[in-house]
């Protein structure tokens, strides 16, 4: 499953599936503030721009 380019926000589950990570890993990144998210009630949404920043910050050289 690839992230749709026209969407601005993604759920942690969508990101986990795309990056082939456990959804708890994504929640861990959010909790540790390595990945910025917006909380609506009990749900998190992650801005595509914040995801791009997170990925760039974690690239190896």
| Residue 34 counted as domain residue | yes
What is the domain count for the chain? 1
pLDDT per residue as tens digits for the range 1-27? 556 667 899 999 999 999 999 999 999
| Residue 38 counted as domain residue | yes
**pLDDT greater than 90 at residue 58:** yes
Q: What is the 3-state secondary structure (H, E, C) of the chain?
A: CCCCCCCCEECHHHHHHHHCCCHHHHHHHHHCCCCCCEEECCEEEEEHHHHHHHHHHCCCC
Average pLDDT across the chain, whole number = 92
What is the reported pLDDT for 6? 77
| Residue 23 counted as domain residue | yes
The percent of residues above 70 in pLDDT, for the chain, comes to 92
**pLDDT greater than 80 at residue 34:** yes
| Residue 2 counted as domain residue | no
| Residue 44 counted as domain residue | yes
């Amino acid at each position: 499953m690839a992230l749709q380019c026209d969407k601005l926000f993604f759920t942690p589950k969508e990101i986990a599936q795309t990056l082939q990570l456990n959804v708890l890993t994504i929640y861990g990144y959010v909790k540790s503030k390595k990945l910025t998210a917006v909380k609506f009630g009990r749900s998190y949404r992650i801005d595509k721009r914040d995801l791009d920043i997170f990925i760039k910050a974690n690239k190896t050289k």
